[in-house]
Amino acid sequence: MAFYLYVLKSKINERFYIGTTADLDDRVKRHNEGRSKSTKSGRPWEVVYTEEFDNRPEALARERQLKKWKSRKRIEELINRNSVLLK
């Protein structure tokens, strides 16, 4: 089973949210339905970045790493670097 690190961006206030899940589609749906207290006020959210891992501990370790950055600029650089690679 795959696990995902994901970065969401609020379409109304430009905030980022970083999380992990085994079911990305369902998790984003729950965020956008307001079923997550920490993201309820930023709806709607869009997925702007993902990474796939083989297990939950690896995904959680990466989540902790990104959250320790505490830097919007570094998160934006990660997202932008990924979008350039996809083109």
pLDDT tens sequence across 52-87: 999 999 999 999 999 999 899 999 999 998 876 554
Q: Of 59, 38, 41, which is closest to residue 50 (Cα–Cα)?
A: 59
**pTM for this prediction:** 0.92
Q: Which domains does the chain have, with CATH numbers?
A: 3-86 (3.40.1440.10)
pLDDT for residue 43 is more than 60: yes
- Mean pLDDT, residues 12-39 taken together: 96
Give the number of C-alpha atoms closer than 13 A to the C-alpha of residue 63, restricted to the C-beta side: 19
